[in-house]
């Protein structure tokens, strides 16, 4: 990717009224640019790195604001370039006025350009750059912890260990190919197969962390499904502990879908109260039902609610849309049933609950995270957190599988070496050793301006 050496500037804090705002400037000319509009007892160009200086921002000799300026000299800065951060009073007018003055001699930074420069200057790896974006959007304790571990390089180190193993296998193969006629020890096929099998298992294990990683980052998608008036909206409100959905005794109140987000045991959970799986002649309701089908198919978990009648017809429709293992069956309004009836439903796998009596809701919440929760030990080892990383690891695993197949079929070590090179390239893309401009642009385009 072509590196831009010009000096950039941007507001790094959200616009609005606050105690302070921060404007960031980065580039070889950053200190010189700011020194021309900043006056203090110490000349900014003579100030040592990582020091804060109090002074004034002037525009054509007129006072704009009293500020604190902090400088970070290359290469010991976030971007690896000279960086200046101006902390001014948190007024939108003042902040924009200072930025306008800076833009006379600098260029407005693109989204994520400060972090992009940090990556291009080898201050951070690509997985760490992605983690910066994840930290900016983290909404729960677990998503913050996952982003933090990735920023500290846990995933990068895990990938690098796999690359070391791949390099070792590739070196053995290249020696065997290049020096076949010389008197060298013959490569042991069994050892090679055992080693590649273990490597493939490790890649498969890493790929499986991707599903949990996406859930941590984007949230566990949960859909409430059931016949009209079985109490889906009441359960929805019980999760939220607020009256978000309109609850009435009239069937079909939820004509579209409602979505809310909660934190459950540190996990982000996105709950959808759907319009249900039914037919309707109402044109508006039909649109809501169609959208419900799409949401249900895309959900990680489905809470199927009944209030006594098992509603086998709708359950059968549901099982055609999603895997049965995703479905959590719930009997609502348990306060209306005798104990012996409740036991019958329990034997059929239903969670018994009553929103009226607030019973069974804890069990329902816990069931949502069943087989989803990741231990902190796993997070510390490094997990995949986005589709790009997952696709690359899956590609690497497939290439190693092809390499194993070529050995077992006696196809020649040239084929094995080629497949292992493909696996290496896929893993190198994750940490940024081999990365196209399009991938980089997509990653940093999702950042905010100023980061």
Residue range 315-356, pLDDT digits in tens: 888 888 889 999 999 998 888 888 898 899 999 999 999 888
The mean per-residue pLDDT over the stretch 134-153 comes to 90
Q: How confident is the model at residue 232 (pLDDT cuts 50, 70, 90)?
A: confident
Most confident listed range (171-175, 270-274, 350-354, 367-371): 350-354
Residue at 2 is within a domain: no
Q: Is the dihedral of CA 362, 364, 370, 372 positive or negative?
A: negative
Shared domain for 146 and 200, answered yes or no, is: yes
> How far is residue 347's CA from residue 350's CA, in Å, rounded to a whole number?
7
Last residue of a domain, one of 368, 396, 417: 368
- pLDDT at position 245 is 46
- Averaged pLDDT for residues 266-293: 72
Residues 187 and 314 in one domain: no
Shared-domain flag, residues 323 and 386: no
- 207 with 333, same domain: the answer is no
Do 179 and 319 lie in one domain? The reply is: no
pLDDT at 286 over 70: no
Residue where one domain finishes, among candidates 335, 368, 401: 368
| 211 pLDDT higher than 60 | yes
341 with 229, same domain? yes
**pLDDT value for 234:** 86
Q: How far apart are CA 72 and CA 85, in angstroms?
A: 8
How many domains does the structure of the chain reveal? 3
Residues across the chain:
451
Cis upstream peptide for 299 (omega within 30°):
no
Same domain, 347 and 383: no
Tell me how many degrees the CA angle 381-419-384 measures, rounded to the nearest 5: 25
415 and 286 in one domain? no
59 lies in some domain: yes
- Band (pLDDT 50/70/90 cuts) for residue 284 is low
**340 three-state secondary structure:** helix
Instruction: Note the pLDDT of residue 303.
Output: 93
Q: What is the CATH number of the domain that holds 357?
A: 3.40.50.300
Q: Domain range for residue 279? A: 219-368
CATH of the domain at 163: 1.20.120.430
How sure is the predictor about 261, in pLDDT bands with cuts at 50, 70 and 90?
confident
Average pLDDT over residues 21-41: 96
Residue scoring higher pLDDT (436 or 165) = 165
45: exposed, middle or buried (Cβ count in 10 Å: 0-12, 13-18, 19+): exposed
Domain of 89: which CATH number? Answer: 3.30.1360.120
Q: What is the mean pLDDT of residues 180-199?
A: 77
**Is the pLDDT confidence value at 285 over 70?**
no
How far apart (Å, rounded) are the C-alpha atoms in residues 387 and 260?
24
Residue 129 lies in a domain: no
**pLDDT at 425 > cutoff 80:** yes
Higher pLDDT, 445 or 226: 226
Place of tokens 């400037």: 25
State how far the Cα of 81 lies from the Cα of 281, in Å rounded to an integer: 64
Asked whether residue 131 is domain-assigned, the answer is no
Query: Which of 78-82, 234-238, 354-358: highest mean pLDDT?
Result: 78-82
Same domain, 165 and 203: yes
Q: How far apart are CA 432 and CA 127, in angstroms?
A: 8
How much is the pLDDT for 278? 60
**Which of 52-56, 354-358, 362-366 reaches the highest mean pLDDT?**
52-56
Stated pTM of the model: 0.77
For residues 152 and 245, state if they share a domain. no
Same domain, 223 and 363: yes
- Based on the domain organization, do 44 and 120 belong to the same domain? yes
**Residue 244 predicted with pLDDT over 70:** no
Tell which of 332, 348, 368 closes a domain.
Answer: 368
The CA–CA distances, whole Å, from 128 to 148, 157, 438 equal 9, 11, 18
């Amino acid at each position: 990717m072509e590196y831009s050496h010009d000096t950039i500037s941007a507001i790094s804090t959200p616009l609005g009224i606050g105690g302070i705002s921060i404007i960031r400037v980065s580039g070889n000319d950053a200190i010189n640019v700011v020194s021309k509009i900043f006056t203090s007892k110490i000349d900014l160009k003579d100030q040592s790195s990582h020091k804060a200086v109090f002074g004034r921002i002037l525009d054509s000799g007129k006072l704009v604001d009293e500020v604190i300026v902090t400088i970070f000299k290359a290469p010991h800065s976030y971007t690896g370039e000279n960086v200046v951060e101006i902390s001014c009073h948190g007024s939108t007018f003042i902040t924009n006025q200072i930025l306008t003055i800076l833009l006379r001699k600098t260029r407005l930074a693109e989204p994520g350009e400060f972090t992009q420069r940090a990556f291009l200057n080898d201050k951070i790896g690509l997985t760490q750059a992605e983690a910066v974006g994840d930290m900016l959007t983290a909404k729960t304790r677990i998503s913050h912890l996952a982003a933090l571990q990735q920023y500290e390089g846990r995933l990068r180190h895990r990938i690098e260990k796999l690359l070391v193993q791949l390099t070792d296998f590739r070196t053995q193969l290249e020696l065997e190919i290049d020096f076949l006629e010389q008197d060298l020890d013959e490569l042991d096929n069994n050892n090679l197969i055992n080693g590649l099998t273990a490597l493939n298992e490790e890649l498969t294990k890493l790929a499986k962390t991707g599903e949990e990683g996406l859930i941590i980052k984007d949230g566990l998608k949960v859909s409430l499904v059931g016949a009209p008036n079985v109490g889906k909206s009441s359960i929805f409100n019980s999760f939220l502990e607020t009256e978000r959905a309109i609850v009435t005794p009239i069937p079909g109140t939820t004509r579209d879908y409602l979505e809310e987000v909660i934190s459950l045991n540190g996990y982000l959970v996105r709950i959808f109260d759907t319009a249900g799986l039914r037919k309707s002649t109402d044109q508006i309701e039909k649109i809501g039902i169609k959208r419900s089908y799409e949401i249900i198919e895309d959900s990680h978990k489905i809470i199927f609610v009944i209030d006594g009648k098992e509603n086998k017809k709708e359950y059968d429709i549901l099982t055609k849309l999603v895997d049965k293992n995703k479905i959590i069956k719930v009997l609502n309004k348990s306060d209306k049933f005798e104990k012996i009836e409740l036991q019958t439903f329990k034997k059929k796998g239903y969670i018994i609950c009553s929103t009226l009596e607030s019973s069974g809701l804890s069990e329902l919440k816990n069931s949502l995270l069943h087989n989803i929760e990741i231990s902190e030990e796993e997070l510390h080892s490094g997990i995949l957190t986005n589709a790009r990383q997952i696709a690359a690891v899956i590609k690497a695993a497939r290439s190693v599988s092809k390499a194993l197949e070529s050995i077992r079929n006696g196809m020649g070590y040239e084929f094995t070496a080629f497949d292992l090179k493909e696996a290496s390239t896929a893993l190198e893309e994750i940490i940024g050793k081999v990365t196209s401009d399009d991938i980089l642009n997509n990653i940093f385009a999702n950042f905010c301006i100023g980061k």
